[in-house]
Structure 1
Amino acid sequence: MKRIVLFLATNLAVLVVLSIVMNIIMTVFGVDFGSYTGLLIFAAIFGFGGAFISLFLSKWMAKRSTGAKVIQQPRNDAERWLLDTVRKQSQKASIPMPEVAIYDSPEPNAFATGASKNSSLVAVSTGLLRSMSKDEVEAVLAHEVSHIANGDMVTLTLIQGVVNTFVIFLARVVAGLINNALRGNQQGGSHHGGGGFVYFGLVILFEVLFGALASLIVFYFSRQREYRADAGAARLVGPNKMIAALQRLAQGKESQLDDKMLAFGIKGKLAKGELMMTHPPIEKRIAALRHGSY
């Protein structure tokens, strides 16, 4: 229930903010959103705007959706060790010290998120701490620190923004062309055939279709950044520790993180084909490390 409320609240905030931005652009610059140029600007506002608002809210959302508690003052040796380990790795990776949190979950997993390297979060599950050795946990932390050092959160947001923009734009262009053809009115109305139940129904249909195809692009880049984070962890703590951590993760079930957090976890969900996966198969990640792909 909490996740649903957070999802609805976030999307409502996105719509309100972007609607205000659109009104300002229309008033100040006189942009005609009925033209192809205006439509592209509209698509970019919602495509990039939604992606970046989600990025800026990502740390707040992550804490609330998982119940992660940031370690302010270590209460025991385990928390003290976590902070010390992340601090050493951050210094080695030349990034500011992230917040370190623990969230209650039997699933062995961890994630990194945040709007920038200066405002990042590394969180690990209680299941990971219970089921892994210190060397394995150290490798998992190094993987997440590498995500931050590589700027993966911003990179994936930019890719998502580009993809969103073209999905929104192309869905409306194709829907408009079909709608105009059905009405036998190639010249009437806006250039992209706006208006009417048929048009909006077609827009929804093509956004779903193009969005599914575009997801393959996002998934590809997500998989590549996992390889880079594994390689970064190998440089920070050594490949053997990272391989051992991945082997341990392979013994567990697929990730239970929700969709918004899934791409940021060290372990993803299984799919029928690799094209639909946010993370490469663990055996491929291990093979890459063994072949020295770092």
Structure 2
Amino acid sequence: MGYVKTGILMAAMTALFLGVGYILGGGYGTVIALVVAVGMNAFAYWNSDSAVLRMHNARPVDAHTAPELQQMVMELAQRAELPTPAVYIIQSDQPNAFATGRNPDNAAVAVSTGLMERLSRDEVAAVVAHELAHIKNYDTLTMTITATFAGAISMLANFAMFFGGSRERQNPIAMIAMMILAPLAAALVQMAISRSREYEADRIGVQIVGQPLWLADALRKIQGYAARIDNDAAERNPATAHMFIINPLHAHARDKLFSTHPATENRIAALEALAAEMSQRGAPRSRPSAPRNPGPWA
């Protein structure tokens, strides 16, 4: 089902991309946009993980360089019935994390140094479980492809400022509208996808780790720090902001249409309600999430 949804998304974004090309260059613009769109689809599918990881200067780690983190990811992946993804660390004081990759067999989880320094092991485990839920749902492929197209459509629409469209179709009002609406349309798709899937990833992440309040506490802390600490790489690449568990930018605050994430307080409230429901059912506590061998994170 994940591939079907992704295919529909790619077709819709390609159509939007072709529309922009037609307005800017008529028939020739459509052909060029089609060629570029096909190339972008192929690149986004096969290189989504490496491209995003490079944007954020993520470095790979393993059982030798970050034994506790590697052990935690491996144990949680086993609970989620997933292959163990590659593990990366982002050098950023802002606590945050994201997952990327075209499928569970080719996925990666990246966490910031700030996340490991400022959150408890239980809270980090809940964050990792949330990211594994995105991998399990194939959200990583969809969101990365959306980010790629959103950035490309914005760039293509801005060309109108310099080229003015085809001679037969020069229309200042249409060109101005395209410069505004094309990036907006791409951003709306990106935002709608991210917003609808964060709640689901929270729910499945709780199933993996077994403790809703661990994730609630993690979200509360990350939101507080993200509002005060800049994430320079994310600011340079805002089209990837929707991939993080909490928006790494400082531009959003409320659960509205133009937010890349649902309001954090709404997510926390949903998790607290889930914790109360589990308590009433007498749900058993999960196994400890932290690795069995204590020691430094990395």
Q: TM-score range by the shorter chain?
A: 0.5 to 0.7
> CA separation of 1:164/1:131 partners in 2, compared to 1, >3 Å: closer, same or farther?
closer
For residues 204-251 of structure 1, the C-alpha deviation after alignment (integer angstroms, 9 at most, x for no partner) is 741531331342232111111111111111111121211111121122
Matched, 1:235 2:235: no
The 8 Å contact of residues 43 and 165 in structure 1, kept in 2 or not, is answered as no
Q: Do the aligned partners of 2:49 and 2:107 also contact (CA within 8 Å) in 1?
A: yes
**Following the alignment from structure 1 to structure 2, what is the Cα–Cα distance between the partners of residues 226 and 91?**
22
Q: 1:94 to 1:42 in 2, by over 3 A?
A: farther
Question: Mapping of 1:242-257 within 5 angstroms?
Answer: 242-254=215-227, 256=231, 257=234
Describe how 1:200-215 pairs up with structure 2 within 5 A.
Answer: 202-203=174-175, 205-215=177-187
Please give the alpha-carbon distance, in whole angstroms, between the structure 1 residues aligned to 2:129 and 2:36.
Answer: 34
Unaligned runs of 5+ in 1: 1-17, 19-32, 180-192
Shift of 1:287: 1.4
- What aligned pairs does 1:1-294 form with structure 2 within 5 A after superposition? 34=27, 39=30, 46-47=36-37, 49-75=39-65, 79-156=66-143, 194-195=166-167, 198=170, 202-203=174-175, 205-237=177-209, 238-254=211-227, 256=231, 257=234, 258-268=237-247, 269=249, 270-271=251-252, 274-292=256-274
Distance 1:108 1:229, change over 3 A: same
Q: Match for 2:252: what amino acid?
A: A
| Number of aligned residues | 237
Going from structure 1 to structure 2, the CA distance change for 1:56 and 1:131 (only over 3 Å counts) comes to same
How many Å apart are 1:145 and its aligned residue? 1.0
Counterpart residue identity of residue 137, structure 1: V
The structure having more radius of gyration, on CA atoms, is: 1
CA shift for structure 1 position 122: 0.6
Identical-residue share of aligned pairs (%): 31
Asked if the contact 1:49/1:161 (under 8 Å) is kept, the reply is: no
Q: What is the DSSP-based 3-state SS (H/G/I as helix, E as strand, rest coil) of the residue aligned with 1:124?
A: strand
Any conservation in 2 of the 1:139–1:245 contact (CA below 8 Å)? yes
Note closer, same or farther for the CA distance 1:233–1:48 as it changes in structure 2 (3 Å cut).
Answer: farther
CA distance in 1 between partners of 2:182 and 2:140 (Å): 23
Distance 1:47 1:164, change over 3 A: farther
Structure 1 residues 161 and 265: alpha-carbon distance in aligned structure 2, compared to 1, 3 A threshold: closer
Larger CA deviation: 97-106 vs 265-274: 265-274
Taking the aligned partners of 2:267 and 2:81, their CA distance within structure 1 comes to 25
TM-score, with normalisation over the residues of structure 1?
0.67
Q: Bigger relative contact order, structure 1 or 2, given CA contacts below 8 A and separation 6+?
A: 2
Contact conserved, 2:147 with 2:239, CA < 8 A, in 1?
A: no
User: Offset of 1:89 from its aligned partner?
Assistant: 1.4
Taking the aligned partners of 1:260 and 1:159, their CA distance within structure 2 comes to: 9
| Aligned equivalents of 1:105, 1:249: Cα separation in 2 | 13
Tell me the TM-score normalised to structure 2 length: 0.66
Code of the aligned partner of 1:230: D
* Unaligned segments of structure 2, at least 5 residues: 1-13, 15-25, 279-298
Change (3 A) 1:234 1:196: same
- Aligned Cα root-mean-square deviation (Å): 3.7
